[in-house]
Structure 1
Amino acid sequence: MTLRIATFNLENLDDRPKGAIAFEDRLRVLRPQLRRLRADILCLQEINAHPVTKHGPRLLSGLDRLVEGTELESFHRIVSLNRGGRHPSDLHNLVILSRLEPHSHRQVWHDLVEPCHWRPNHALPPQEQASPAEWDRPVLHAAYPLGDGRQLHVINVHLRAPRAAWLAGQKEPHGRWLSVAGWAEGFFLAAVKQAGQALEVRLLVEEILDGDPDALVAVCGDFNATDREAVLRIVRGDEEDTGNGHLAMRMLVPVERSLPESARFSVIHHGHPVLLDHILVSRPLLGSFLTAELHTETLGDELVSPAGISGPPESYHAPMVAEFNLP
């Protein structure tokens, strides 16, 4: 069975955009991109939702319009929920669309790692007690039966971007920081949140491998980090880092390593190509790996593109696909 797993950050997918770009323009650009993926399982990030009524359910109306009339419209859908677990958040939901019906699914949000507590040194007014530094989003985990008694585990992630977290009294409404010390502490908090979420992803993988050491696992999404940064190392668990060859089967392998180094990028940031989106697979799943694709032909620079003035019709993230031949 040939199976294609893809990940794509759709960059604030919203049919009620705040910028000048018309949503219909986004539909015309994004639909061909999705069609080209030919994905059997598609992990999406940054899907916005809107309430039907003031206190009613929130619908992913932008995503509904995007997949309308396409094969993806009939796919099974798993959506992340807010901290209370009642409905999707207004912004940046995770979604997994799949041709296969999931056997089970869940979201993980401080279920395996408690939030760190921190009392800011530069908050204004001063903060008397430490407060929890919670992650911005959960991760989604879906398990798909393969018909031979085995399961494919897919984890959709969107780690926090390396931008300074808000600190009381240190940042003006339009975004300017009032002191370097305040910004530095906010940046430190952002790094703690990002690394903590990466740890929770790794512990989720450990939980799966404890149940089945030969589990087929794919961790997909926007990690907001390159291959050698700390958060990727936490999730991968390389034997070079653990110093223990007996743990090699627990390592996750980035499939982009099969591509030429010059082609390994999913974002262009001020002229510099960087790979922030990844598909990491367990070694048993790597045995069925065929090829990887990064669709970068139309990728614009997220900082200097003229489309940034009114909002891009596309995404400033390139989609990534991994194809497998599963027995």
Structure 2
Amino acid sequence: MKISTFNIENLDESSDEYNPTLFKRIPSLRCLLNRIDADILCLQEVHGQELLGHTSNNPKRELSALETVILDTPYVHFHTAYTTTSDEVPYDKRNLVILSRWPIVELNQYKHDHLAKLGYRKSTVLPAEEPKDISWERPILHAQIEVPSVGLVHVINLHLKSRLSSNVKGQKLNNYTWKSAAGWAEGYFLSSIKRVGQALETRVLLDQIFATAPQAKIVVCGDFNAEPGEVPVEAIRGRVENTGNPALRHTVMLPCSLAIADSVRFSHLHHGQKNLLDHMLISQSMFSLFSEAHIFNENLHDESLPFASDSKFPESDHAPFVAHFNS
């Protein structure tokens, strides 16, 4: 059995001077998806496309860009789950998607279901505001999949808040220029709260699963926008070294990345720096089935280099992470 996570980067039908057309992206993406050859594939940044008759009061969307990409691949026959708005349609931007060879027996998404919104008063906002709630930008997608000869597997797909600073009203000259360092810092602080907050909600969800099924088979994967050892990853892992409680050892989530050589243990490049932002964490019961892991980063590009433009590559700026399990 192979499980993979892949931030496919802004998959959409639309294009502009910086973003290539879907037609130009399809060959490289389809080739990579076929190479991944996963039985369960978790995707991030799958945009929704508006259908005829769509309005703000009557939203109508589908994932037609993804459907086009997976044509002529085995995934076209897979069971599909994705995040939805309160109107039961895909979000317009950055949906989480799970494609599974086997039936999805239960599906849930969570956004402040296990952790209330946090009230916060911005210090640098202009003009001054009353405290407002801080909310995550994306739900947590949780699928329960019945895998032959393995049993029930909980697959949790995440895309935590990026490291880019959140907007602070009155503190930006334009999309790229801040009026003050303090304004930028507060925006960065707010993004950190969102990233860690959603990681905490994920950990609360894990504890609830373990409370009813101590030997549950769980995979948590996705774009964490955080390196190993940083707070979001540590919060989800729940290591005994942090809790100081050996009785909680069965709830510890183990990183598949440790099975990959350090020299190739990266899924993202920024200013020449190799970063591991995409993760796959597994429960102890899944660890007994785990055999090996790979990151397909041979063709990964660095858009942030000084000689690069804002033009996007057909490929994603994240590399797929693939883990193999015995079944």
Fold shared, TM-score > 0.5 on shorter chain: yes
> Separation in 2 of the partners of 1:102 and 1:143?
6
Structure-2 residue corresponding to 1:270: 271
The 1:148–1:22 alpha-carbon spacing in structure 2 relative to 1, beyond 3 Å, is closer
Structure-1 residue corresponding to 2:40: 41
Structure-1 residue corresponding to 2:79: 76
Task: Note if 1:322 corresponds to 2:323.
Answer: yes
Write out per-residue CA displacement over residues 116-173 of structure 1, whole angstroms, 9 at most, x where no aligned residue. 110111111110x211100010010000123569410000000001111101111123
| Maintained 8 Å contact 1:267/1:302 | no
Structure-2 residue corresponding to 1:259: 260
> Separation in 2 of the partners of 1:67 and 1:204?
31
The offset of 1:234, in angstroms, is 0.2
> Separation in 1 of the partners of 2:29 and 2:139?
25
The 1:4–1:193 alpha-carbon spacing in structure 2 relative to 1, beyond 3 Å, is same
The 1:232–1:124 alpha-carbon spacing in structure 2 relative to 1, beyond 3 Å, is same
Write the letter of the residue equivalent to 1:320: F
> Separation in 2 of the partners of 1:97 and 1:156?
11
The 1:255–1:20 alpha-carbon spacing in structure 2 relative to 1, beyond 3 Å, is closer
| Maintained 8 Å contact 1:307/1:313 | no
Task: Note if 1:298 corresponds to 2:295.
Answer: no
Gaps of 5+ in 1: none
Write the letter of the residue equivalent to 1:256: S
Task: Note if 1:57 corresponds to 2:57.
Answer: no
> Separation in 2 of the partners of 1:154 and 1:20?
31
The 1:307–1:270 alpha-carbon spacing in structure 2 relative to 1, beyond 3 Å, is closer
Q: How many residues align?
A: 322
**Aligned with 2:93 (options 91, 94, 98):** 91
Moved over 4 A (4+): 305-308
The offset of 1:69, in angstroms, is 2.0
Q: SS of the counterpart of 1:293?
A: strand
Write the letter of the residue equivalent to 2:109: Q
Write out per-residue CA displacement over residues 57-95 of structure 1, whole angstroms, 9 at most, x where no aligned residue. 10112101101121111111001012x253111111100
Structure-2 residue corresponding to 1:101: 103
Gaps of 5+ in 2: none
> Separation in 2 of the partners of 1:148 and 1:319?
26
> Separation in 2 of the partners of 1:306 and 1:77?
40
Structure-2 residue corresponding to 1:7: 5
> Separation in 1 of the partners of 2:164 and 2:87?
26
> Separation in 1 of the partners of 2:267 and 2:254?
17
> Separation in 2 of the partners of 1:93 and 1:301?
24
The 1:246–1:198 alpha-carbon spacing in structure 2 relative to 1, beyond 3 Å, is same
> Separation in 1 of the partners of 2:268 and 2:148?
37
Structure-1 residue corresponding to 2:118: 116
The 1:81–1:305 alpha-carbon spacing in structure 2 relative to 1, beyond 3 Å, is farther
The offset of 1:201, in angstroms, is 0.7
**Superposition pairs for residues 218-257 of structure 1, below 5 Å?**
218-257=219-258
> Separation in 2 of the partners of 1:173 and 1:92?
23
> Separation in 2 of the partners of 1:34 and 1:150?
25
